[in-house]
Structure 1
Amino acid sequence: MKKGDKVRFLSEIGGGIVAGFQGKDIVLVEDEDGFQIPVRVNDVVVVENDDYHVNPIAPEPKSHEEKDYAPAGRPVTFRAEPEERRGGDALSVYLAFIPVDPREMTRTKFEAYLVNDSNYYVAYSYLASEGANWSMRSVGEIEPNTKLFIEEFDKEGLGTLERVAVQLMAYKRGKSFMLKPTVDVQLRIDTVKFYKLHTFQENDFFEEPALLYTVIENDQPSRPLVIDAKKLRQEMARKASNDVGPQVVRPARKQVKDEPVVVDLHAGELLDTTAGLTAADILNYQLDVFRKKMEEYKNHHGAKLIFIHGKGEGVLRHAIIHELDYRYKGCRYQDASFREYGYGATQVTIK
């Protein structure tokens, strides 16, 4: 049985298309209305056509001890609660990506899963950034100590996953529990990694190698992808105070017409020190400088701006290209002159 197979239920009328799996024992069957129904693998059978309205297989008669003592005319809907495990009351949730065909990394599709490694039920929403706005990609509930398939995408869809958000609310059913704060975490997905097979590693949750991003681990959320304004104010104040003192007054340099505006986004040029700042803090500050400069020149038609971001791992350049594609669609961009700026610079032309 695999995704896309047509199946019908053994114990009741109906069926649908296999949309995914929850662990090894549960299959998600999508009915004609688009609802995904979790069913045990042993309770469905693959069929060749769409005729799901076959009388279900009648169960063997039960002994007196096995009878279902339910009110007349009502089906028995009891379902055992998932078993809890020791150490599972600390909330841990991961976002996982798996290549469908690892032998064809340049062409393969990818599957995305949420892994709930805790004794809590988790209501989740999974969103992707569209410039300043967000789009919902999946929403639902994950049972304790399970993983849930949420979507499949190809290489073209990678561009829409550079920045994602996962929101979580944890709870238990039928018993008291320790209240967990709601989780709202933004993650930057390095799409370059999806072209490298060694990116996908052996792990405790899947039989095949996977790329895991931590949403929350042992009740500690992954650091949100937002800038720490307090830290940045402190750094900027320190830089300003260090600049106070005897200044050499130089005549203002007149900008030649059509000469490009050069903006160096290296952290060492923007901040006096990066002590206490994470890579995410620095990246967000660099992008903030980029946006302010773009806003300053957005009405200067024909103006050319050179953003020096360096080569490195390409994270800052990738983030700038994403901003240009979604926030500043009317602008043209290209690699800046290698002779003048090296490999790590992008030229933007305001239209």
Structure 2
Amino acid sequence: MKIGDKVRFLSEVGGGVVAGFQGKNIVLVEDEDGFQIPTSITDVVVIDNDDYNIKHDVQNVSTVKDEDEDYDPADRPVTFTAQPEERKGGDALSVYLGFVPVDIKEITNTKFEVYLINDSNYYIDFTYLTVEGTSWNLRSKGTVEPNTKLFIEEFGREVLNELERVAVQFVAYKKDKGFLLKPAVDAQLRIDTVKFYKLHTFQENDFFEQSALIYTLIENDKPVRPLVVDAKKLKMEMARKASDDNKPRAVVQNARKKSKDEPVVVDLHANELLDTTAGMSAADILNYQLDVFRKTMDSYMGKHGVKIVFIHGKGEGVLRHAVIHELNYRYKNCSYQDASFQEYGYGATQVTIK
């Protein structure tokens, strides 16, 4: 049954022309006077002539209909779904997490919307989680179609503390066709909630008409470095490296020596040794710095006369005191002094291997 068909009422005399539909079950029948009569679709039947005034047995007609099941194809539900269009370059996986202020003009009071942005030709099945202590909580899960973004949730400032650390885990695939297998992604982010109070935090971008804060989860098949450092994994990695051959260049990656007579220079600043210190306590950072110091010293022990300059910074002097303590108790045979101020400024100690 479709618009323009001539129909007859089954339960009474009369009929008209199909003028439209209301939902799936109601048809609008327009009579000769131009009135549209809402009628159940089961109470009308399509006819080939203009004789609307013949009343038929409703029971017999409906019985025949049930047996024949002769429906017009236009009445059947649409089951075909067009495949999403793929774009050139979209087979490299790029996924982002976007935070969008509902009313950026009221940045101190507005709510925020969270979106998962799938800038690739793959389907993404994801979970979106936040952590409380050591326990993770599921906030949302779902599927993002290729080259689209999906609304996840809306939140206010009262829950900002819950979002200081979030994780997005997902797998990528294509439907009804072959594809290159992509590794599952587990991206953990530390969200700086202070940014949600600053207007300049939200920038113009390629995914929203309004300004947004965008975090990269993976881009061009390259996952971002985790913003959360697992201190236990870090210590295990340090222990593993300690068992390797003590070759100076292999152990001391940031040591530099310009010529034979110049000292080896090792910068112990955390930002020189680590890509990020997020998730690490001050004790974790100090232990890592001292581990580099010890490995450097051990790798040059026995090479008499070699000079090593350790740049530890002035700061509060915690690292310097720890280095001096190591020299006094672990490396008693080596002499040390303040390094040249002109070359290294304050905050450097020169050690001579004996």
TM-score w.r.t. the length of structure 2 is 0.50
Separation in structure 2 between the aligned mates of residue 179 and residue 171 of structure 1, nearest angstrom: 7
- Aligned counterparts, 1:226-305, within 5 A: 226-227=229-230, 229=234, 233=238, 274-279=271-276, 282-286=277-281, 289=284
For 2:191, the equivalent position in structure 1 comes to 189
* Equivalent pair of 2:130/2:166 in contact (CA under 8 Å): yes
Separation in structure 2 between the aligned mates of residue 213 and residue 160 of structure 1, nearest angstrom: 17
1:76 counterpart (67, 72, 78):
78
- Aligned counterparts, 1:109-258, within 5 A: 109-224=111-226, 225-227=228-230, 229=234, 233=238
For these two proteins, the number of residue pairs brought into alignment is 200
For 1:318, the equivalent position in structure 2 comes to none
Tell me by how many angstroms 1:286 deviates: 1.6
Shift in alpha-carbon separation, 1:12–1:195, aligned structure 2, 3 A: farther
For 1:105, the equivalent position in structure 2 comes to 107
Shift in alpha-carbon separation, 1:146–1:288, aligned structure 2, 3 A: farther
* Equivalent pair of 1:235/1:272 in contact (CA under 8 Å): no
Check if 1:92 corresponds to 2:119. no
SS of equivalent to 2:177? coil
Shift in alpha-carbon separation, 1:82–1:272, aligned structure 2, 3 A: closer
Shift in alpha-carbon separation, 1:167–1:55, aligned structure 2, 3 A: farther
Superposed CA deviations along residues 106-132 of structure 1, whole A, max 9, x for unmatched, are: 111000000000000000000001110
Superposed CA deviations along residues 138-187 of structure 1, whole A, max 9, x for unmatched, are: 00000000000000000111110000000010000010000000001100
| Gaps in structure 2 of 5+ consecutive residues | 1-20, 26-38, 47-70, 247-267, 286-314, 316-354
Separation in structure 2 between the aligned mates of residue 81 and residue 100 of structure 1, nearest angstrom: 32
SS of equivalent to 1:103? helix
Shift in alpha-carbon separation, 1:236–1:90, aligned structure 2, 3 A: closer
* Equivalent pair of 1:113/1:147 in contact (CA under 8 Å): yes
Tell me by how many angstroms 1:75 deviates: 2.8
Tell me by how many angstroms 1:10 deviates: 6.7
Superposed CA deviations along residues 292-343 of structure 1, whole A, max 9, x for unmatched, are: xxxxxxxxxxxxxxxxxx9xxxxxxxxxxxxxxxxxxxxxxxxxxxxxxxxx
SS of equivalent to 1:285? coil
Tell me by how many angstroms 1:273 deviates: 5.5
Separation in structure 2 between the aligned mates of residue 288 and residue 185 of structure 1, nearest angstrom: 25
* Equivalent pair of 2:229/2:278 in contact (CA under 8 Å): no
SS of equivalent to 1:198? helix
* Equivalent pair of 2:229/2:280 in contact (CA under 8 Å): no
| Gaps in structure 1 of 5+ consecutive residues | 1-8, 14-53, 62-68, 242-270, 291-309, 311-351
Amino acid of the structure 2 residue aligned with 1:122: I
SS of equivalent to 1:193? helix
Separation in structure 2 between the aligned mates of residue 237 and residue 10 of structure 1, nearest angstrom: 75
* Equivalent pair of 2:99/2:114 in contact (CA under 8 Å): yes
Paired-residue identity, %:
59
Separation in structure 1 between the aligned mates of residue 281 and residue 208 of structure 2, nearest angstrom: 37
Amino acid of the structure 2 residue aligned with 1:226: V
Shift in alpha-carbon separation, 1:169–1:287, aligned structure 2, 3 A: farther
Tell me by how many angstroms 1:211 deviates: 0.1
* Equivalent pair of 2:97/2:215 in contact (CA under 8 Å): yes
* Equivalent pair of 1:98/1:110 in contact (CA under 8 Å): yes
Tell me by how many angstroms 1:103 deviates: 1.2
Larger radius of gyration: 2
For 2:295, the equivalent position in structure 1 comes to none
TM-score w.r.t. the length of structure 1 is 0.51
* Equivalent pair of 1:93/1:215 in contact (CA under 8 Å): yes
* Equivalent pair of 2:123/2:172 in contact (CA under 8 Å): yes
Amino acid of the structure 1 residue aligned with 2:234: A
Shift in alpha-carbon separation, 1:72–1:204, aligned structure 2, 3 A: closer
SS of equivalent to 1:160? helix
Separation in structure 2 between the aligned mates of residue 91 and residue 70 of structure 1, nearest angstrom: 44
The RMSD of aligned alpha carbons is 3.6
SS of equivalent to 2:140? strand
